[in-house]
Amino acid sequence: DLFAAGSDTSSSTVEWAMAELLRNPLPMAKACDELQRVIGSTRRIEESDIGRLPYLQAVIKETFRLHPPVPFLLPRQATTTIQILGYTIPKGAKVFINVWAMGRDKDIWPEAEKFMPERFLERATDFKGADFELIPFGAGRRICPGLPLAVRMVHVVLASLLINFKWRLPVKVERDGVNMTEKFGVTLAKAIPLCAMATST
């Protein structure tokens, strides 16, 4: 079950990233340029390359912000009554963390609805639980155990798709726009799967 959940959320994240890049040609061009400059077209991307691809990392962080793998983290239950930021959380209360809404909070993210990977080049934001404005995998002792595998998979798969193929939208989708409707559930998938055309680079 753990591997199935991990592969489902990872493939969904790659699909969201591709949808955003196809809708936003400038970030797509920047990501492809970085890959050509750092990796080139003669070899495959490896896990060790990820650290040398800051723009690709920013694209993935921005995808996690707008389209977290799961909209709500697993609920927590207060073991004691506690005050947090002026709110009283009574003992026994179940607390749900809406990471989808956090990623669109205009008080934290300027132009929150826009896909702007550059925002992560300007600020050192970690999505592994250290920075609470971006916690798509949770935080603390109950952070998603699949995080290391998911992060590697998403980076390597997305980079492989971008470096090995040139992507475009079908004429009808180009004309009508990519449907970005979300299908809410345990995971956050696209309601209508992405349709894109690839040619070899």
Q: What is the DSSP letter of 51?
A: G
Residue 195 is assigned to a ligand binding site = no
Pairwise CA distance, residues 34 & 99, whole Å: 29
Q: Angle, nearest 10°, between helix axes 2-23 and 25-38? A: 110
| Structure-block tokens of residue 48 | 């060790």
CA-closest candidate to residue 66, choices 180, 154, 169:
180
Q: Do the Cβ atoms of 91 and 78 come closer than 8 Å?
A: yes
- Give exposure, 11-23, as e/b (b: 16+ Cβ within 10 Å): ebbbbbbbbbbbe
Question: CA dist 64 to 91, 151, 171, Å?
Answer: 32, 10, 28
| Number of continuous H segments (helices) and E segments (strands) in the chain | 6, 8
Pairwise CA distance, residues 150 & 13, whole Å: 9
Pairwise CA distance, residues 156 & 2, whole Å: 20
What residues form the annotated binding site?
Answer: 144
What residues form the annotated binding site for heme?
Answer: 144
